[in-house]
Structure 1
């Protein structure tokens, strides 16, 4: 390779890498070699323009950055100007040049000093923490720089003093940004962990995760900050994320979690740490995810060993506080990794201690023990001791004058009474007793709503009353009673709107039960008869669980704004809870007239997140089905504005999976049909990554609805270049669509004919391929002579396109009986045919005449006189 060629190659390479200075130098050397080379002159001109533009931008950014930093440094400056400077800095660091200048001008030192100083105005510190999150999120290099120069401990430190949600969320975003860069995992972006990257930055990840775990039990940390740290742990410790559970156990970190789990909101000891009503729920979820990381007997045994060490240390304690804390921790385990919680119950004296505490006169012991008994009572026969002695103790506690104790005992009784589930033939307690328990729950729900004690109101009495109703609402009589008792129902929905995660189980479970959206096992009639013959128990559906009653209940829930409650509760990171929320959403969206409520109250945005992020597979599919249902009956451009329309394509396409039900397949195809007509960009998104083949597979189904919806969807995708090429390829797609034009189902035939009409308008090859169909004449004749205007219109357009495409197609058409039908259509006396169809038929005949395949009758005599060959007459 010559020197000139090498220089050209380097010049272009440097320009591509935006190293304009080096590229310009190479171009100057080239000009010296050949001063008259026009290509070199043009390159120099282009590079000079780029360099001048960048220089102007850099100068402008540099001046703005200097002024911004000057305002922030000057404590005597006006507060509004300093706040404006902090906010302007967010925009400046979005650009590479701005970030570079910020770092060069020792911006990190200024940022740290201002964030450390509690006397600095909150609005300034709020702007600066957003700057930090913006820098971290911009690139891997920036994240590494922040990690090394500022560190994770500093970010947690500035969080620990704050109680403002906005500040904490931005700080949380900064930490998550670092973890995402170092691991590749992002629940928000639905990105799985990059194992190579995670291995490379393992030390960074371990340092961040260890810092989070070390700080969770700090006494000086605000309660809201503690919850933020737990939310970070919930997202990242999961086996499907960073999978950090085993490292936590090796580092003996489980005791810190259990220490937080032992805290009670309503009980404050001298050693207590600040917590919210949601903290124990967060701890239970983190414990569950850590236990899920234990993928072998050895690691699970280590988990149980550390757990029992914590329990034994507290149970051996002489004071009652230690026993209360141990019992509270057991409750958290039973609400999280239930196998670990049950292991605690099997230890000698544990259950007896809980029963003794429940039977004591101390209110704190009674409350804590009642909660533990409720959590332990998964089924009536789960623990013989609890089933035998617990019922009597719970009944005694229920007679207490203290509403806190009364409501907990009530929930325990409700839980024991719900063992029969939805089976109407299995009832542990009578219907009369069930309704009495329900009324007691409603009374306590109302008392909690009126309670002036705002600290305990949402998470205490109302939470437990809602949980009691959740268990009782497995009974269809209770479902109906609750939907008629609108006051109690509205209080339950308002409780959900509060967004308190401690209330989530009771509220969402009740909604699932009311809508009958829980998972049902399909019962084959033959199996029922076989079970009866074998004298086995056959579950019976309650008469009030019939479809008309369920539909009415869904309507009542939607009209009383249940969507707002679901939106508020969707912030939970628990996959099972998110799946339950999806079940309720989908049950509401099953009804066409209720979908508007979901759209109006912000349900669409939440459904997209539920379909993409941190959810069980079933939950994702149910969320996608709800989205599809909305897309079928609502204008997609209104309910999915802008980028949101592209986001919904992926989840909806997932419903075409063979494991999904036929109804989900059908609704997915219908939704995609509507989306496909919005824009070229959306059509390409649908077709991307083999999407077309997923849609096309259903046109070969025997199920008429699936075949129809698939054909309609393809008709809306047909104009995409990639689809046209598919039909022009060496396959029988065109032939099959010709056959579909004769389908007994009018909508299927109409969609197939429409697809061919559009395809033949732009593809001459497809026109020719129609002739390859065995009975193409018959199908085209059926179309153009159809009594249905839409079919006839499409058929005439196909024929016109074929005649216009090439001489061979035109000749085949004219030589067939189709010509006579076209001539008949154009006759003035044919009233049944609309004017548009007649005009297209005339245009077809005119084109055939231009190709000299037919002639008008008045030209026939002249042709005969001159001795020319006689063409077909018109």
Structure 2
């Protein structure tokens, strides 16, 4: 795999067709040199090199496969009854079928050999490898229900065999390869329905999540994505379908069991089986452990695998959050806490998915429970980013509703929204054509107005008098402490406020007790001699009096 990655990068960095042709010729000559002797060693080396090319610069490997007639050699090795040759040949057969149009040819020529290897008395690992390769071939149709590359029911038969190995084998590699098969087979809707009802198989997959291998975790999360239908679905455009029908092109059809009614039930069964704690666990430990794995020669390859795995977690969480009933369970299991750091760092699409899931939680769940303390303030920035025009209307709407719910909790959250320039972002949606977006923006602005009105009511209802009393009491204690502190008070604007409070007669603004404390402060300053009373009974500060004299 390491060599494949290096060769892929070398091939990608070639600047011209001439250089790529020279690269292909060098590889071709190397294969020819290996085939000069027709013994077991040369066969193994030839097909091993071809596998490396098919995993790296695929076009080069595919060219050599066709020109050197190596497919017949692979079939010959698969029938050799030699475990080493069979294992290498099985791997190469499936790698050569990684493109759909190639898979049809491979199924026609190599499927029977793979079946024989699976049914034979060979070692268990070879049987499972053959099963994995058959699964890849059978699932090459993807989610298209109108295409049948294998006999009807074959995917389900293969899936049952995988589940048997997954739940009964003590070998870690056997269980890993079984999960590899299910990652492909779970694209079939009938397989999805069977797998979510197989509690033993689900528990076995959950237990595999304890490992630290990025590739295995990717396979398992791919299975969960398929079961929950949280993969990208391209919306069909009516005009394109009509054009394809007119030109007699194939139109993919969705399986009836991929309908919303069915995948909602599958999501429910997965939650009942305990998938939420598993997802939370993956989010917590995956980002740290994967950095040490896979490829040391090209460090960013591991980072990409880590980001892909995270992206799959976002998808599953977002899919589960679509149903309001599951959001409480997600919060209780620590899902909100696990999602927040992923919304702050990662790929742009991944952060968007994670933030949208958090927004859904913030809309229907008490933010003080779901995002206690500082976490609530940290959530503001990613949600405000969802208000950008390039996001969908649904993402904009959910962001507005979430911010409204968060802002209703405390003044600190409202200050953070203003600090992150959220007010202007919200305000622009008052002029959107979509009525729900306008309504959500107005609802937030009304909340801000209600808070201001509440403050006015506090003043009108004399509830601010107590705060005034505490403030004056503290100032009096400071002034009474010593003259130096009193001088510092006099030098500020507080003295003007104290003079004004002493003269105000409106009991709605200051009561008699607070007025007396203000007078006490002024009297103490008079005794210190830092202010003095004029003949017209007005009070001036000492420096001003001296300047007048």
TM-score, scaled to structure 2: 0.68
Q: By how many angstroms is 1:681 displaced?
A: 4.6
Are 1:444 and 2:165 an aligned pair?
Answer: yes
Structure 1 distance, partners of 2:163, 2:45, is: 30
Q: By how many angstroms is 1:442 displaced?
A: 1.5
Are 1:665 and 2:396 an aligned pair?
Answer: yes
Q: By how many angstroms is 1:664 displaced?
A: 1.5
- Name the CA shift for 1:435/1:761 in 2 (closer, same or farther; >3 Å): closer
Aligned ranges 1:66-77 → 2 under 5 Å: none
SS of the equivalent of 1:694 reads helix
Counterpart of 2:328? 596
Q: By how many angstroms is 1:316 displaced?
A: 6.8
Unaligned runs of 5+ residues in structure 2 are 291-302, 462-506, 509-549
Q: By how many angstroms is 1:680 displaced?
A: 4.6
Q: For 2:89, which of 363, 369, 386 is the aligned residue?
A: 369
Structure 2 distance, partners of 1:347, 1:434, is: 33
- Name the CA shift for 1:761/1:502 in 2 (closer, same or farther; >3 Å): closer
Q: For 2:214, which of 501, 505, 510 is the aligned residue?
A: 501
**1:343-370: CA deviation from partner (whole Å, max 9, x where unpaired):** 6656635545444433322213322332
- Name the CA shift for 1:603/1:336 in 2 (closer, same or farther; >3 Å): farther
Counterpart of 1:756? 449
Counterpart of 1:79? none
- Name the CA shift for 1:586/1:328 in 2 (closer, same or farther; >3 Å): farther
Q: For 1:608, which of 340, 343, 346 is the aligned residue?
A: 340
Counterpart of 1:576? 308
SS of the equivalent of 1:431 reads coil
Q: For 1:619, which of 343, 347, 350 is the aligned residue?
A: 350
Are 1:550 and 2:263 an aligned pair?
Answer: yes
Q: For 2:253, which of 540, 543, 547 is the aligned residue?
A: 540
Q: By how many angstroms is 1:408 displaced?
A: 1.6
Counterpart of 1:651? 382
Q: By how many angstroms is 1:649 displaced?
A: 3.1
Counterpart of 2:195? 482
SS of the equivalent of 1:370 reads helix
- Name the CA shift for 1:299/1:667 in 2 (closer, same or farther; >3 Å): farther
Aligned ranges 1:354-433 → 2 under 5 Å: 354-382=74-102, 386-401=106-121, 402-433=123-154
Structure 2 distance, partners of 1:697, 1:488, is: 50
- Name the CA shift for 1:497/1:698 in 2 (closer, same or farther; >3 Å): farther
- Name the CA shift for 1:363/1:682 in 2 (closer, same or farther; >3 Å): farther
Cα contact 1:358–1:369 (8 A) shared by 2: yes
Cα contact 1:314–1:326 (8 A) shared by 2: no
Structure 1 distance, partners of 2:196, 2:454, is: 57
Structure 1 distance, partners of 2:196, 2:311, is: 23
Counterpart of 1:75? none
Aligned ranges 1:702-741 → 2 under 5 Å: 702-713=433-444, 715=445
Cα contact 2:104–2:149 (8 A) shared by 1: no
- Name the CA shift for 1:257/1:632 in 2 (closer, same or farther; >3 Å): same
Cα contact 1:656–1:665 (8 A) shared by 2: yes
Q: RMSD in angstroms over aligned alpha carbons? A: 3.9
Structure 1 distance, partners of 2:103, 2:421, is: 52
- Name the CA shift for 1:674/1:331 in 2 (closer, same or farther; >3 Å): farther
Q: For 1:633, which of 364, 370, 386 is the aligned residue?
A: 364
Structure 1 distance, partners of 2:450, 2:149, is: 66
- Name the CA shift for 1:310/1:706 in 2 (closer, same or farther; >3 Å): farther
Structure 2 distance, partners of 1:538, 1:430, is: 20
The structure, 1 or 2, with the larger RCO (C-alpha pairs under 8 Å, 6+ apart) is 2
- Name the CA shift for 1:292/1:311 in 2 (closer, same or farther; >3 Å): closer
Structure 1 distance, partners of 2:454, 2:375, is: 32
Cα contact 1:497–1:565 (8 A) shared by 2: no
Structure 2 distance, partners of 1:406, 1:559, is: 33
Structure 2 distance, partners of 1:384, 1:334, is: 17
Q: By how many angstroms is 1:553 displaced?
A: 0.5
Q: For 1:559, which of 260, 272, 287 is the aligned residue?
A: 272
Structure 2 distance, partners of 1:421, 1:491, is: 25
Cα contact 1:561–1:597 (8 A) shared by 2: no
SS of the equivalent of 1:656 reads coil
Cα contact 2:142–2:187 (8 A) shared by 1: yes
Cα contact 1:419–1:427 (8 A) shared by 2: no
How many residues are paired up?
441
**1:435-491: CA deviation from partner (whole Å, max 9, x where unpaired):** 22221121222233xx2xxxxx23x21122122222222221111111122222222
Q: By how many angstroms is 1:515 displaced?
A: 1.0
Q: By how many angstroms is 1:682 displaced?
A: 3.8
Structure 1 distance, partners of 2:405, 2:22, is: 52
Structure 2 distance, partners of 1:345, 1:298, is: 20
Structure 1 distance, partners of 2:228, 2:339, is: 18
Structure 1 distance, partners of 2:403, 2:164, is: 48
Cα contact 1:499–1:568 (8 A) shared by 2: no
Cα contact 1:463–1:502 (8 A) shared by 2: no
SS of the equivalent of 2:389 reads coil
Structure 2 distance, partners of 1:397, 1:505, is: 27
Cα contact 2:11–2:20 (8 A) shared by 1: no
**1:204-251: CA deviation from partner (whole Å, max 9, x where unpaired):** xxxxxxxxxxxxxxxxxxxxxxxxxxxxxxxxxxxxxxxxxxxxxxxx
Structure 2 distance, partners of 1:312, 1:445, is: 38
Cα contact 1:398–1:405 (8 A) shared by 2: yes
**1:236-295: CA deviation from partner (whole Å, max 9, x where unpaired):** xxxxxxxxxxxxxxxxxxxx942xx7xxxxxxxxxxxxxxxxxxxxxx5x877x569738
- Name the CA shift for 1:467/1:304 in 2 (closer, same or farther; >3 Å): farther
Aligned ranges 1:256-267 → 2 under 5 Å: 257-258=2-3
SS of the equivalent of 1:382 reads helix
Cα contact 2:131–2:158 (8 A) shared by 1: yes
Structure 1 distance, partners of 2:315, 2:18, is: 34
Q: By how many angstroms is 1:554 displaced?
A: 0.7
**1:842-874: CA deviation from partner (whole Å, max 9, x where unpaired):** xxxx99xxxxxxxxxxxxxxxxxxxxxxxxxxx
Counterpart of 1:178? none
Structure 2 distance, partners of 1:691, 1:287, is: 48
- Name the CA shift for 1:336/1:708 in 2 (closer, same or farther; >3 Å): farther
